[in-house]
A and B are shown apart, each in its own frame.
Chain A
Amino acid sequence: GQQVMQIPQYQHVQEGEDFTTYCNSSTTLSNIQWYKQRPGGHPVFLIQLVKSGEVKKQKRLTFQFGEAKKNSSLHITATQTTDVGTYFCAGPGSNYQLIWGAGTKLIIKP
């Protein structure tokens, strides 16, 4: 079945370092959404990308959608403790429901 692959599974960073997670699909996506789930919490919508090559920024977060619309990335500049959590990408499946990646867990080293 259709899958959305997300890497890495975990990323340990020092506070102040950058963080990047990548999302890949075997098929072209019409759109992709990104969500954040804090520890013990529920997913919260961050952004949606629709256009080929689209780049959107939210403060320290930069989201990109690939030219072929098969991949996407989220980059966080100068991580803070408030960034801790798991970041998920989600793209449409065959029935237009969302297929979710496994998520990338951002861990701040003590």
Chain B
Amino acid sequence: EAEVAQSPRYKITEKSQAVAFWCDPISGHATLYWYRQILGQGPELLVQFQDESVVDDSQLPKDRFSAERLKGVDSTLKIQPAELGDSAMYLCASSLATGVSSYNEQFFGPGTRLTVL
């Protein structure tokens, strides 16, 4: 069964350092999402791609976060510099359909657990 791949699974870094997370969506899925999930809360959308284009990054802290999906397949989320408050689970998801995103079933990867010391 096809799955969303993410790496690394765990990352420990010191504040002010740069970190990067990688996501490979299910083959053929045009839409890719990056979420941040703080313990005890629901996922919060950071950025949504349709193929290689950003369609929503309104909640992405652009002073320190960046995301790209250059060839419309895999994607990288970067934080520079990391802050203590960035400690969270970073989830990548993908969906097949290209219509209104709220109707699309999303398939999640295992996530990257980030700890900033």
Contact = CB atoms under 8 A, between A and B. Distances in A.
Given A96-B101, A97-B48, A101-B42, A45 B110 contact: no
B110 A42 contact: yes
B91 interface: yes
Interface stretch (A51-59, A60-68, A74-82, A85-93): A85-93
Interface residues of A, number: 24
A103 B43 CA distance: 10
Interface string B28-51: 000000000000111111001000
Interface residues of B, number: 23
Nearest to A95: B56
Contacts of A88: 42-43
Contacts of B91: 42-43
A6 B58 CA distance: 23
B101 A42 contact: no
B105 interface: yes
A97 B101 contact: yes
A4 B61 CA distance: 22
B108 A42 contact: yes
Interface string B3-34: 00000000000000000000000000000000
Interface of B: 40-45, 48, 55-56, 58, 91, 93, 100-103, 105-111
In the complex, the 3 A-B pairs of residues with the closest C-beta atoms, listed nearest first? A100-B42, A92-B102, A42-B108
